[in-house]
Amino acid sequence: MPLPGVQAHYQMAPEIRLRELEKAYAGPRTARKAGVLALCYPDAAEQARLLLILRPTYPGVHSGQVALPGGGMEKDDPDLLATALREAREEVGMAPSQVQLLRALTPLYIPPSNFEVSPYLGVADRPQEFRRQPSEVASLIEVPLEHLLDARSLTTRRLTTSYARDIEVPAFLLQGHVVWGATAMMLNELKQLLQAL
């Protein structure tokens, strides 16, 4: 199936970010590379779930935000999928051997941190016992996949961010967390892909 791609990203992008992204997609970048894992798995009741993490508070642009497990590419990573799997192992204790890769999703440039993030969709076939790394993960957010697909999870919020004050952002409200920015943009592509099945 074709990916929804950039248009799905744009639907969940704050207006201020749209202008930055249009410039970024138009020309070459010197962005750092990162890989993240959108992991779906069954819970004990065999309900499909998606794993998100809450970043701890720290002096940085993504402090306290909801994210997919993942991070920056390191020199020993052979590719960005390896980056995503290594980071998922480090952050939440997910063994790479337990992940079945379904496909790569559309890369997304994040202007505030100058990262180009490559998301990967993977599944595990059994319930998981995650182990969070406290220095990188404040808490785990296990989202029923049906909540992501539910139109009632869409919302807007006014936020002050590391790069703008009092802006309105489209967001998902998932398990009591406001998910916005790059994570919401990637989740919107995943949502549209799943809805097209």
Domain that holds residue 41: 6-195
Distance CA 163, CA 190 (A): 26
Q: Which residue has the higher pLDDT, 63 or 190?
A: 190
Q: What are phi and psi of 21, to 5 degrees?
A: -70, -40
Distance CA 3, CA 195 (A): 12
| 3-class secondary structure per residue, the chain | CCCCCHHHHHHCCCHHHHHHHHHHHHCCCCCEEEEEEEEEEECCCCCEEEEEEECCCCCCCCCCCEECCEEECCCCCCCHHHHHHHHHHHHHCCCHHHCEEEEECCCEEECCCCEEEEEEEEECCCCCCCCCCCCCCCEEEEEEHHHHHCHHHEEEEEECCCCCCCEEEEEEEECCEEEEHHHHHHHHHHHHHHHCC
Question: Does 174 map to a domain?
Answer: yes
Q: How many domains does the chain have?
A: 1
Question: Does 187 map to a domain?
Answer: yes
Question: Does 1 map to a domain?
Answer: no
Q: What is the mean pLDDT of residues 74-87?
A: 98
Taking only the tens place, the pLDDT of each residue in 10-46 is 899 887 777 666 666 544 468 899 999 999 999 999 9
Q: Which of 105, 101, 76, 90 is nearest to 193 (CA)?
A: 105
pLDDT at position 27 is: 45
pLDDT at position 82 is: 98
Distance CA 182, CA 168 (A): 15
Distance CA 180, CA 187 (A): 10
What pTM, to 2 d.p., does this model score?
0.90
Decide: 77 and 83 in contact? Cβ < 8 Å.
yes
Question: Does 166 map to a domain?
Answer: yes
Distance CA 20, CA 64 (A): 22
CATH code for position 45: 3.90.79.10
Is residue 62 predicted with pLDDT exceeding 60?
no
Question: Does 115 map to a domain?
Answer: yes
Taking only the tens place, the pLDDT of each residue in 120-173 is 999 999 999 999 999 999 999 999 999 999 999 999 988 766 566 777 889 999
Is residue 99 predicted with pLDDT exceeding 50?
yes
* Residue showing tokens 């998606």: 50
